[in-house]
Amino acid sequence: MPWTEPPANSDELRRCIRDLVALSTFPAAWRNYDERQIGDSIVAALITMLAADFVLIILPGQGNQLAELIRSEPDLNPASLDHVRTVLKQEKAAFSFEQEFVVANASGGNVHVATSPIGLGGDAVLAAGSSRGTFPTKTERLLLTTGANQAAIALQQWLGGADKRRFTAAEGELRLLNENLERRVEQRTIELEVAHRKLLADNLEREQADRRIQKLRDELFHMARLTAAGEMAAALTHELTQPLTAVINSVNAAKRLLAREDSASLAIVQDIADEAASQALRASEIIRGFRQFVSLDETERRIEALPSMIEEAGALALSSAAPLAARLTFDFDDQAADVFVNRVQIQQVLVNLIRNAFEAMVDQESREITLATRVLGDGMVEVAVSDIGPGIHDDIAGRLFEPFVSNKHNGMGLGLAISRSIVEAHGGKLTAEQKPGGGSIFRFTLPSGGAADAS
């Protein structure tokens, strides 16, 4: 038959060698066996080795009758076995040459049958069948042929010299069969050796690929660290711009007032100095807040009064808006009085959102920002920051919270990304939506103070 299947794996090779060794030991055990005992033995061995649905030996019997020795699985339909017998008895070539054919299974599907002649002058055959579509594989064909050869040798020895001429002819046939078997074993061994070398080469290639992947992973980690450092530097620049600008403006204003040297100016200078100090302290808190955020330190979280946090953040966000102004409107839910947060980090989120809202309306005469709170379920509080500006551009609406994506012409695109990270670190969510009638609404959730007490 054409040997077209792929080479066997190492487990199949070991099983094949084990079964071949087992078959080679049978003749010693058959020394005192008669014809039927030899047939029963080889049938029982092959049905297990081949995992076949049936194994059948047909031998010459008394007169013109044929003797059968068979083992079959309980699930095999007897009608299918009768069909195989009919085909074998009609196709006499199956007694002289290796054959393969398919018969219909009475229970559905097909039974694939392979035969191997037993060297008794063309009147004995060993057949095996299975419903597996791959039956017989090269290894299974090899075992079937070996079993037929061993049975032929044992049966000829048992027959002794009853028919010398018949034995001589059969002996020549067996010699040819054994030579053919040796060639097949040699070819199979070569194929398995090639498969083994290919497996070793594949393992080596896989190891080299693993090393390349590890090197790329290390390079990616290095780039990720550089990127994170760059983003943190950009974020600090973004967040510190407002308080430092306020400090510079306050100092310059104080210098101009001091130049006047009048008592009224000196009084104003005192207020300006206080404002500058407040903004400088705010810059220090931003830096400290970023360090806490990077380290994921939650020890600084405590129960805070939400309305006062929002009012403070509003004043800080609009302190550098002069000479322009925006009207802040507050709509606080009495049930949303306390939250469990890091005050500096959440105020930074509020400052970002309020400043974004103001900058969205900078070209308008009317500038109004509403800050509202309300209680949600599951121990959460919602804060909403809405404006009456132009709203969110459609081309960036789906990417608004990605780093370096901005709704502003000269924006860095970091404020919203940082704000979302802070809110999510607190167990909340930050979302944006268009406001009916014009403008935008940014909503974020925080754990309530009551939820912190319950935990």
Q: Residue 389 falls within a domain, yes or no?
A: yes
For residue 235, give every residue at least 6 positions away whose Cβ sits within 8 Å of its Cβ, in sequence order, or none: 290, 414, 418
> CA-to-CA distance for 332 and 9, rounded, in angstroms?
73
Q: What are phi and psi of 217, to 5 degrees?
A: -65, -45
User: Given a cut of 80, is residue 343 above it in pLDDT?
Assistant: yes
Q: Residue 178 falls within a domain, yes or no?
A: no
Q: Residue 415 falls within a domain, yes or no?
A: yes
**Closest to 122 measured CA to CA, from 97, 88, 147:** 97
323 pLDDT band, cuts 50/70/90, is very low
Q: Residue 346 falls within a domain, yes or no?
A: yes
Polymer length of the chain: 455
The whole-chain average pLDDT of the chain stands at 77
CATH (domain of 62): 3.30.450.40
Of the ranges 190-199, 238-247, 317-326, 404-413, which one carries the lowest mean pLDDT score? 404-413
Q: Residue 30 falls within a domain, yes or no?
A: yes
Q: Residue 231 falls within a domain, yes or no?
A: no
Give Cα separations from 92 to 81, 86, 88, 89, 97 (angstroms): 17, 11, 7, 6, 9
CATH (domain of 394): 3.30.565.10
Q: Residue 225 falls within a domain, yes or no?
A: no
User: Given a cut of 60, is residue 119 above it in pLDDT?
Assistant: yes
Q: Are 446 and 383 in contact (CB under 8 A)?
A: yes
Joined tokens for residue 180: 């053919």
Give Cα separations from 193 to 138, 149, 197, 202, 206 (angstroms): 16, 26, 6, 14, 20
More confident residue, 63 or 106: 106
Q: Residue 252 falls within a domain, yes or no?
A: no
How many independent structural domains does the chain possess?
Answer: 2
Q: CA gyration radius for the chain? A: 45
Of the ranges 35-44, 131-140, 171-180, which one carries the lowest mean pLDDT score? 171-180
Its domain, for residue 405, covers 296-454
> CA-to-CA distance for 327 and 320, rounded, in angstroms?
14
Give Cα separations from 190 to 103, 143, 194 (angstroms): 34, 18, 6
User: Given a cut of 70, is residue 112 above it in pLDDT?
Assistant: yes
Joined tokens for residue 179: 């030579």
> pLDDT tens, 383-438?
999 999 888 877 766 677 776 555 554 545 567 888 888 899 899 999 999 988 88
For residue 41, give every residue at least 6 positions away whose Cβ sits within 8 Å of its Cβ, in sequence order, or none: 26, 29, 30, 33
> CA-to-CA distance for 96 and 118, rounded, in angstroms?
8
Residue that finishes a domain, picked among 160, 177, 198: 160
pTM for this model (two decimals): 0.39
Residue that finishes a domain, picked among 136, 160, 184: 160
> pLDDT tens, 125-159?
888 999 888 899 888 888 888 888 877 777 776 66
User: Given a cut of 70, is residue 203 above it in pLDDT?
Assistant: yes
The DSSP code sequence of 189-240 is: HHHHHHHHHHHHHHHHHHHHHHHHHHHHHHHHHHHHHHHHHHHHHHHHHHHH
Residue that finishes a domain, picked among 138, 160, 182: 160
Of the ranges 48-62, 154-168, 336-350, 362-376, which one carries the lowest mean pLDDT score? 154-168
